[in-house]
Amino acid sequence: LGLQDTYFVNSHGLDSDGIQTSPTDMAKLMQSIISDVPDVYALYSEKVFKWNDITQYNRNKLLWDNSIDVDGGKTGYTSNAGYSLVSSAKEGRMRLISVVMGTPSKQARISQSKNLLSYGFRFYDTKQVAKQGQVESKVRVWKGNAN
C-alpha cells in the first residue's frame, strides 16, 4: 500500500504504545479501499445499520449533508488523537478524499472535512495535456542523436 508513516499495533486503532499514522497514509488507505474492494467501500455509505434489534447510525454526518456528495468515510476518536475523519466525495467524474486529524470536536471534524472537499471541488481541475503515444512536438538537441 505504500504506507510510509503508519505502524499498527492492534486491530482497533485505539491508543496504544507505538501506534502512529499520517493524513497521507490514511488517504492512501482510503484510496486503496475504494479502488481494490469497492464492495467493502459501499458499506461506508450506509447511514443506518440494523441487526438483532440494534440500530447503529453512521457517525460520518456528511452522509446526510445534501450540499456535498460524500459517499463514505471513517470517523475516529481517541483521547490522545482527538476527533478524526477520512471522507470521500464525488462531483461529476472527480473523486476527492479529505483527511482531518486531531480536531477538538465531532462538529470540527465534519466542518473541516466539508471545507476541504468543497475547496477541492471548487478550485481543482484535471486537464489532459497529451495523449499516450501521441507526439506533441519534436525538438532538436544540440549534439544529440536522432532516433
The number of angstroms, rounded, from the C-alpha of 66 to the middle of its chain's C-alpha atoms is 19
Residue range 24-73, pLDDT digits in tens: 999 999 999 999 999 999 999 999 999 999 999 999 999 999 999 999 99
Provide the domain count of the chain: 1
Residue range 96-124, pLDDT digits in tens: 999 999 999 999 999 999 999 999 999 99
Sign, CA dihedral 80-14-10-112, equals: negative
Supply φ then ψ for residue 62, to 5 degrees. Answer: -65, -20
Q: Which residue has the cell 459501499?
A: 42
Q: Is residue 18 part of a domain?
A: no
CA distance 95 to 31: 10
Q: Which domain holds residue 36?
A: 23-123
Q: Is residue 128 part of a domain?
A: no
Helix, coil or strand: residue 121: helix
Q: Is residue 5 part of a domain?
A: no
Q: Is residue 13 part of a domain?
A: no
Domain of residue 92, CATH code: 3.40.710.10
CA distance 76 to 114: 16
70-78 and 54-57 as β-strands: parallel, antiparallel, unpaired?
Answer: unpaired
Residue range 93-102, pLDDT digits in tens: 999 999 999 9
Q: Is residue 68 part of a domain?
A: yes
